[in-house]
Amino acid sequence: MRAGSTAASLRVAVILPCYNEEAAIGLTVAGFRAALPDAAIYVYDNNSRDGTRAAAAAAGAIVRSEPMQGKGHVVRRMFADVEADIYVMADGDATYDAAAAPALIARLIDDRLDMVVGAREDEVEAAYRRGHRFGNALLTGILSRIFGRTFSDILSGYRVFSRRFVKSFPILSQGFEIETEISVHALELRMPVAEIVTRYGARPEGSASKLSTYRDGWRILRTILSLFRLERPFLFFGAIGFAFGLLALALATPLVVTYARTGLVPRFPTAILVTGVVILAFLNGFCGLILDNVVRGRLELRRLAYLALPAPGLPS
C-alpha cells in the first residue's frame, strides 16, 4: 500500500516509540490514520507509568511493549518485529506533521531512496528549544567533518525508511543517540537519501519532553566519537599517533641540542621517555592501518546485506 499516487501493493507501517505520552499519543495516531488510512499503526510502549497503552489502543493502534528502557532498544525491537515495505517512524508526542507522511513516502518511492528525513521547521519558539537547536547544529557540524557529508537535522525523529534499510541495520544504540546512529549508517553505506522540511509544533498540554539537553547531548556526542573510532580508525588512531609524535619531538629537541653541543645525553630518563612515546606513536599508526582494513571488510559485508533486499517499488 502506498500513499497518494504510489502503488497499492506496498505495505506501509507507522511505528511510534512511546514513553509516558498519554496526553499526545491519541492525537498522533489519529493524525497518521487520517494521512495514511491504509497503513498499520504500531505503538511500542517503553514502560510507561501513565495511560499511554490504553490511549493508543483506544485510538486504534496496534500496541506492543519493549521492557528494556531507552529509545534505541525500542527502535531495535520495532525494526525486528514489524514487517512492511515502507516504514514511517515518528515520536508519539504529536509534534511531527503527520500530514506530510504521504509526501515523504512518495519521495522515497519515486526516487528509489532508502531514507527520507523530515527536517524540522518549528512553528513556535517553544517547539524547539534554543539549547536543542544549538546542540543539533553543533553535532551536525561534527558529523559533517568526520564523515564528509551529513543531514541538516540529524536528530529528527521523523523518518521514512525502505525495507532494505530497516532489515540491514544492526542497531547498537540504547537511547536518544539512535537518530545519530541511523544517520551514520546511511552515510557510511552511501545510501540514496533525502530531506524534506516538515512542520514541527509544540507538544500538547500535559505532555513533557523526555530529552535532556546536556545529558542526552553528551551521549550523542560520545556516540559520534565512538562511531568515528569504529568507522574511521586510521584517522582516529593516526591523530593519536601524530599527537604522540609531536610530544616526542618536543621532548627530544633539547636532548638533541645538548648532544650536538657536548656529545653527552645528561637527561637519560627523558631519552627513555622519548623512546617510549615514539613507540606509542608507531603502535597507534599501525593499529589504525590494521583496523582500517578490518572496517573495510565489515563495511563490504554490511553493503552486501543491504543490497540483498530490493529497492522500494521493485519486486522481491
pLDDT tens profile 147-178? 776 788 888 889 999 999 999 888 877 776 78
Rounded Cα distance, 47 and 51, in Å:
11
Question: pLDDT class for 126, splitting at 50, 70, 90?
Answer: very low
Assign 17 to helix, strand or coil.
strand
Buried b (16+ CB within 10 A) or exposed e, 193-228: bbbbebebbbbeeebeeebeeeebbebbbebbeebb
Bridge partners (DSSP) of residue 40 are: 13
Q: What integer pLDDT is reported at residue 69 of this predicted model?
A: 92
Q: Are 202 and 124 in contact (CB under 8 A)?
A: yes
123-142 mean pLDDT: 60
The 10s digit of each residue's pLDDT in 43-86 is 999 999 989 999 999 999 999 999 999 898 999 999 999 999 99
Q: Are 221 and 142 in contact (CB under 8 A)?
A: yes
Assign 116 to helix, strand or coil.
strand
Cα–Cα nearest to 91, from 154, 28, 181, 162: 28
Q: What is the average pLDDT score of the chain?
A: 83
- The domains of the chain are located at 12-231, 233-307
Helix or strand (DSSP H, E) at 40: strand 40-45
- Bigger pLDDT: 21 vs 5: 21
pTM given for the model: 0.77
Question: pLDDT class for 314, splitting at 50, 70, 90?
Answer: low
Query: Can you state the angle between helices 178-188 and 71-81, rounded to 10 degrees?
Result: 50
Bridge partners (DSSP) of residue 162 are: 86
Q: What integer pLDDT is reported at residue 313 of this predicted model?
A: 66
All residues at 6 or more sequence positions from 112 whose CB lies less than 8 Å from its CB, including other chains: 192, 311, 312, 313, 314
Domain 12-231 has CATH 3.40.309.10: no
Bridge partners (DSSP) of residue 14 are: 41, 88
Q: How many CB atoms lie within 10 A of CB 80?
A: 11
Is the pLDDT score of 2 beyond 50? no
Quick one: cell of 250?
A: 618536543
Rounded Cα distance, 171 and 159, in Å:
16
Is the pLDDT score of 243 beyond 80? yes
The 10s digit of each residue's pLDDT in 257-283 is 887 888 777 777 888 888 999 999 999
